[in-house]
Amino acid sequence: MKIGLISDTHDYLPNIRKAVQVFNRFNVDLVIHCGDFVSLFVVNEFKNLNAKLYATYGNNDGEKTRLKEWFLEANPENKVEDSLSFDVENLKFFVLHGQDGNILDSIIRSKKYDVVVHGHTHEQKFEEVDGVLVINPGEAFGMLTGLASIGILNTTTKEYTEIDLNNVDIIDNEEN
C-alpha cells in the first residue's frame, strides 16, 4: 500500500494543489495529514484527492468541529482527530501533530507502534528509533524552511520517497 504524507500546509493553496496531484499520480491509497491546515477553505482542495484522508489537528487549526464535518462530508471514510491510531498491512500507526515533544517522545519510546508520523517542526525526518519508524514529511507550506515537502511511504517495502513541491508543476485540468 502507498500512503501519502503531508503536514503543515498553512492555507498555502498552490502547494496543496500540487500535493494532491502528486498523490493522485502515484495512486496512493491513503493520505495522512499531520495538522496545521489552518482554515476551513483548504477542504475544497482536498476534495480532489483520489484517496481517503486521515488527519490530525495542529496547534494552528481553528474551527476543529467544522473542519472535521467538512472532511467527512467530502468522504465518509476520512478521519480527523487530535491523534490517530490504526493498523495498515500489519503495521501499527500513530499520528499526531507533535507540538508537545514529551508526548511525541513517550509514544515513540513506548514501542507500541511500528510507525509514528508527526509534523509541527517543519523539518523532514525519516529514521528508525529503537525499531520504530519515525516520519515527519516536513512542511508543505514551504515558507519557514524554504523546502516544501511531502512524502510517500510504501508499507510493503518500508521505502520512503521525499518529494520537493518546489520541483512539481501543476497540470491544469488534470484528469483524475
What is the 3-state secondary structure of 153-169? EECCCCEEEEEEHHHCC
**pLDDT value of position 173:** 53
pLDDT tens-digit readout, 104-151: 999 999 999 999 999 999 999 999 999 999 999 999 999 999 999 999
Domain ranges of the chain: 2-167
Closest-CA residue to 115 (of 170, 143, 145, 153): 153
DSSP state of 40: G
- Which residue shows C-alpha cell 474551527? 63
- Whether the pLDDT of residue 41 is over 50: the answer is yes
Rounded distance between C-alpha atoms, residue 45 and residue 41, angstroms: 8
Q: What is the pLDDT of residues 54-86, one digit of tens each?
A: 999 999 998 999 999 999 999 999 999 999 999
Q: What is the pLDDT of residue 113?
A: 98
Contact call for residues 46 and 75 (beta carbons, < 8 A): no
Task: List Cβ neighbours of 41 (8 Å cut-off, separation of 6 or more).
Answer: 11
- Architecture of the domain whose range is 2-167: 4-Layer Sandwich (3.60)
Specify the pTM: 0.95
Residue 36 has pLDDT above 70, yes or no: yes
- The two most distant CA atoms of the chain are separated, in Å, by 46
pLDDT score for 169: 85
Beta partners for residue 156, in sequence order = none
